[in-house]
Amino acid sequence: MGSLSWRQFKAILRKDIVMELRTREMLTSMGLYAILTMVVYQIALVEAGEGLDVRLVMPGLIWVAFIFMSMLGLNRSFVHEKDQGCLDALLLAPIDRPVIFLAKFAGNLLFLLVVEALTLPVFAFLFLQGRAGFGGPLWMVALVLVGASIGISGIGTLLATISVNTTGKDIMLAVLFVPLQYPLLRAAVGATFAAVIGGPDATASFWNWMGWIAGFDIIMVLAAFGLYEFVIEA
């Protein structure tokens, strides 16, 4: 990447961050969405009572919250671009198409990670207190979050660019996004579970799942990267 491309990349990313800092629309809507999901979880788990080992279902619960939350954010990030004509302006500007992808990808990844980092402690506060604590070290959870969020934002950036130009915007993103993300989610839940349970066996299984996540990220994000140019110009 030349220095010009780097400057363009920073400019697009900065624009997204500045706009977000001004409106705080994505962070608040995504964060609220995650909190509301937890209220629903409380209802879902209430009949299971105190005997339930929350650690067994926690990995699944947090990824359900994060996957739907991420779709909300992805949609927002492109609906704005489209409504205000930003995308057309970007396309008219002499900017390399890959730079647009990388900048939007980085922005989505950043927002997603921020919201995840904010809501995960809330989840622990609401559901894990007084129960058996985390088995594994916290950096493991952090690693899963980063790894899976890369895949989510990478494919999400491509699919949101597609879905924003369709008639069914939000539902279209879900229809395309969830089945494609199946392997990543499976690995993310597996790795989170291993991190939560802890112990030597779990550590081995953790790295196994992390390998899947890394492989998925590399293959699918590269594919999305390669396809983005065609999609955005269509």
Q: For binding to other proteins (CB under 8 A), which residues are involved?
A: 155, 158-159, 162, 165-168, 172, 175-176, 178-180, 182-183, 186-187, 190, 208, 212, 215-216, 219-220, 223-224, 227, 230-231, 234
- CA angle 67/114/127 to nearest 5° reads 65
Instruction: Please tell me the distance from the alpha carbon of residue 119 to that of residue 113, in angstroms, as a whole number.
Output: 10
Q: What is the dihedral of CA 68, 74, 76, 78, to 10 degrees?
A: -150
Name the minimum Å distance from CB 223 to other proteins: 6
Q: CB–CB of 40/143 below 8 Å?
A: no
Smallest gap from residue 198 Cβ to other proteins (A): 20
CB closer to other proteins out of 43 and 234: 234
Residue 176: CB minimum distance to other proteins, A = 5
Least distance (Å) from other proteins to the CB of residue 194?
12
Q: Minimum Å distance from CB 164 to other proteins?
A: 11
Q: Which is nearer to other proteins, 121 or 168 (CB)?
A: 168
Shortest approach of other proteins to residue 1 CB, angstroms?
23
C-beta closer to other proteins: residue 29 or 205: 205
- Which of 90/176 has CB closer to other proteins? 176
Residue with smaller CB distance to other proteins, 15 or 97: 97
Closest to other proteins by CB, 38 or 175: 175
